[in-house]
Amino acid sequence: MSKNNVIIPVYNESERILNTCNAITAFLKDNTGYNFLFVDDGSEDNTVELLKQRKEKFHDIDILPLGKNMGKGAAVRAGIMQSKGEYVCFIDGDLAYSFNHLPRLFEKLKTFDVVIGSRSLGFKNNKKLLLRRRILGAGFNFLVRLITQLPYKDTQAGLKGFRLDKAKTIFAKQTISRFSFDVETLFIAKKYGFSIGEISAIVAKQHTEKNTRVNLVIDTIRMFLGLFKIHYYNLTGKYKQ
């Protein structure tokens, strides 16, 4: 049983999934004690088939197909709830953050209950980011601080780790499966008194340059609704221990 569990939620990633698997193989050559679990969030392409073929050949990954699309938060929750060991993290499957972040993250989990990757602590490559992504990110961060009182400059990086027992406590209370699920997990962790640390998260160059599906109007509405749900659920006692 691996001490460090790495959850990788994926959805329709057939074009990039083998690159991610190859990065795992390269990482494991110099690092031991890791278990990589792909949680497929109901992909409509052949992501699962490619993962199964890859697993039969290299045996260095596990796969959990959810069958239908339920959202990244639901995929992460499913992976965490079936994990065993001491620590767990989730990381984006498109290699936005290299696996070289993992040793630092898991090392910091020896001190903190929760560790989050923060792009604000890393090298800033904002020149390559589209203006609408920067606007949405800044607006979301402002609302997060205003509504939840969380002090962190970056709650959305797809790189977060937990002591496994704390993760199962948090995700048992989690309600949001899509937009804002990251904020909800941090809000619950803070509410329960869990310690939260940060590490710098460096976004890969190719990721800062790729196109985005951000829609300023629709995603702003989703953002606000997600934060409103967190505030409402807190007031109505849904997060009670």
* Predicted confidence (pLDDT) per residue in 70-123, tens digit: 999 999 999 999 999 999 999 999 999 999 999 999 999 999 999 999 988 865
CATH of 4-235, one of 3.40.50.300, 2.60.40.1930, 1.20.120.420, 3.90.550.10: 3.90.550.10
Q: Give the closest residue to 159 by CA, choosing from 90, 76, 81.
A: 90
Spatial separation of the C-alpha atoms in residues 39 and 49, rounded to whole Å: 13
Burial 156-189 (b: 16+ CB within 10 A, else e): bbbbbbbbbebbebbbebbebbebbbbbbbbbbb
- In the chain, domain spans: 4-235
Q: Report yes or no: 43 and 10 within 8 Å, Cβ to Cβ.
A: yes
Spatial separation of the C-alpha atoms in residues 190 and 39, rounded to whole Å: 26
Instruction: Supply angle C-alpha 157, 159, 162, rounded to 5.
Output: 125
Q: What is the reported pLDDT for 93?
A: 93
Positions in the chain short of pLDDT 50 = 126-127, 208-211
Q: What is the reported pLDDT for 120?
A: 84
Spatial separation of the C-alpha atoms in residues 66 and 237, rounded to whole Å: 29
Q: What is the reported pLDDT for 1?
A: 58
Q: What is the reported pLDDT for 106?
A: 98
Q: Report yes or no: 113 and 194 within 8 Å, Cβ to Cβ.
A: yes
Q: What is the reported pLDDT for 144?
A: 84
Backbone angles phi, psi at 206, to 5 degrees: -65, -25
Q: What is the reported pLDDT for 131?
A: 62
Spatial separation of the C-alpha atoms in residues 199 and 107, rounded to whole Å: 10
How far lies 118's CA from each of 3, 49, 80, 180, 205, in Å? Answer: 24, 33, 21, 16, 16
Q: What is the reported pLDDT for 44?
A: 96
Q: What is the reported pLDDT for 141?
A: 77
> pTM above the 0.75 mark?
yes
Q: What is the reported pLDDT for 199?
A: 97
Any idea what DSSP says for residue 192? Answer: T
The separation between CA 179 and the C-alpha centre of its own chain, rounded to angstroms, equals 12
